[in-house]
Amino acid sequence: MLGAIRARPNFVKPVLVRLYHKPARNTEFKKLTASDIDFFKRVLPAETILATPAVGGTSDPVELEGFNADWLNKYRGDSQLVLRPKTTTEVSQILKYCNEQKIAVVPQGGNTGLVGGSVPVHDEVVLSLRNMNKVRGFDDISGIVTCDAGCVLEELDNYVADKGYTMPLDLGAKGSCQIGGNVATNAGGIRFLRYGTLHGSVLGLEVVLPDGTVLDNLNTLRKDNTGYDLKQLFIGSEGSLGVITGVSITTPQRPSAVNVAVLGVPSYKAVQDAFRLARRRCGEVLSAFEFWDSSCMGAVLHHQQLKSPLSAEFPFYVLVETSGSNKDHDDEKLGALLEELMENGTVEDGALAQDEQQIRRMWMMREGIPESLGKTGATYKYDISIPIPVLYDIVGDIANKLETASLFKSAGASDPVKIVCGYGHIGDGNLHLNVVADKFQDRVTEVFEPYVYEWVSSHRGSISAEHGVGLMKRDYLGYSKPKEMIDYMRRIKSMFDPNGILNPYKVL
């Protein structure tokens, strides 16, 4: 629901002591020369190339900064060449050449990824999809939109909104992230509860393979059982198998009645009780059920110039949204739910949005959390999925460990760790554990890595519920996937990308 987010939050840059474990550059990859730049100049319009003097170009290295650093300002590469093709044919020519020359490439969408997947590690060429941003077609009967991969999610949503439809996914980064990036990460977000995974709503993809082959599977068919469904492999492949250039996706009817309420809740158990009752009472119109704790609320109220709609502070907050086609019906259902929750003591206070502006503010309270924490300091992020009853336990556990190590709540303002908090998509069993410190540093990291991953593994959970693996978690994949499966992933990678040029050092 938030509008365009800033490319990167405008907070004081944390001092990065040890950014992350940077794998050594693969010496098999060619270093760019002026003749490579000449080739790209022959196949691409001049204004789509950014090349620094280091590789024979004339662009100011400052212009490449935004492509080299991620949203968190945690991962940083050193690319000297950014290519922004406008057509699938151009993407194909670029990849074919890079594959032949063994030049490493990192596909980049809106660069809002949170696991270091979208930026180069060393000097990989950045292949930005931002110039591929046209809607290719819309079927008004089925609600299927077909578009270039570089279309920004919010712009696509506005496009389909005019026709009475809505995109089946929504996330705080929607003003910047691209549909191709969403597909490449299999993004979840706040509508997952209602519309499910992109593995279901994406109907077709156009993908360029590392050798330049264009896989044209841009179907708009809901049903197609003609053998292996190859497109599924690219959904969530994080730019490691091919570059997505086109997407067709089914869009649901835009709900004409939307209600949003924010609730103050006394315990994590009460959050779960409220969710169970919300599903029972509002099942078919329930479209989001999000939660956050008091530490998140403190940060968001401080940084987003928002006032809590509730009368007091609470240990937990819940945002519940209903979306349907009959306002009276939904009002009645949500009203009855809220009454029951208040009467039985599950919820201690609640506020129901009265207009569009209040709806936006309530969503801002939830969606503004990542940016607000980023403004507070260097944010460590863990995006985990485990059974709901024990989901929040990890937050207290990590806070205790940091306290025991005298890093948190020991010496007051000089503690390196400022905030330990949890929030997320409770309905999907997905918690975002965030730890905010004055800077990224080993003595803090060591307290929770690999502890968090071991903890998740012991509950048979996922170490990456929705953000992907990227560079951040590639060494920890074994905590969520058996060795045999990782071996098959490697085989698939080498089948599509035998030279390993596409998004190297990531995922595997």
User: What residue ranges bind ligand FAD (CB under 6 A)?
Assistant: 5, 71, 106-114, 117-118, 129, 149, 171-173, 177-178, 180-182, 184-185, 187-189, 238-239, 243-244, 370-371, 466-467, 470, 503
Contacted entry of ligand 2HG, ligand FAD, none for residue 432, CB cut-off 5 to 8 Å set by kind? ligand 2HG
Q: Is 317 helix (H, G, I), strand (E, B) or coil?
A: strand
* Residue 266 phi, psi (nearest 5): -80, -20
Contacted entry of ligand 2HG, ligand FAD, none for residue 117, CB cut-off 5 to 8 Å set by kind? ligand FAD
Rounded least distance, CB 498 to ligand FAD, Å: 18
* Cis geometry, peptide bond prior to residue 450 (ω within 30 degrees of 0): yes
Rounded least distance, CB 277 to ligand 2HG, Å: 23
Which residue in 391, 383, 382, 386 sits closest to 460, CA to CA?
386
Rounded least distance, CB 368 to ligand 2HG, Å: 9
Residue 79 or 462: the one with the smaller Cβ distance to ligand 2HG is 462
Rounded least distance, CB 170 to ligand 2HG, Å: 10
Residues 2, 364: contact at Cβ < 8 Å?
A: yes
Which parts of 107-136 interact with ligand 2HG (CB under 6 A)?
114
Token pair 């029972």 is found at 280
Q: Are strands 202-208 and 257-265 parallel, antiparallel or unpaired?
A: unpaired
Rounded least distance, CB 235 to ligand FAD, Å: 10
Contacted entry of ligand FAD, ligand 2HG, none for residue 118, CB cut-off 5 to 8 Å set by kind? ligand FAD
Rounded least distance, CB 71 to ligand 2HG, Å: 9
Residues 125, 54: contact at Cβ < 8 Å?
A: no
Q: Which of 74, 86, 122, 381 binds ligand 2HG (CB under 6 A)?
A: 381
User: With binding defined as CB under 6 A, does residue 172 bind ligand 2HG?
Assistant: yes
* Residue 148 phi, psi (nearest 5): -70, 155
User: With binding defined as CB under 6 A, does residue 370 bind ligand 2HG?
Assistant: yes
Contacted entry of ligand FAD, ligand 2HG, none for residue 434, CB cut-off 5 to 8 Å set by kind? ligand 2HG
Full 3-state SS string of 112-175: CCCCCCCCCCCCCEEEECCCCCCEEEEECCCCEEEEECCCEHHHHHHHHHCCCECCCCCCCCCC
Rounded least distance, CB 78 to ligand FAD, Å: 17
Token pair for 13 = 């840059």
Token pair 């999809």 is found at 129
Length of the chain: 508
Using alpha carbons only, how large is the chain's radius of gyration in Å?
A: 23
User: With binding defined as CB under 6 A, does residue 191 bind ligand 2HG?
Assistant: no
Question: Which residues bind to ligand 2HG, rule: CB under 6 A?
Answer: 114, 172, 369-370, 381, 383, 424, 432, 434
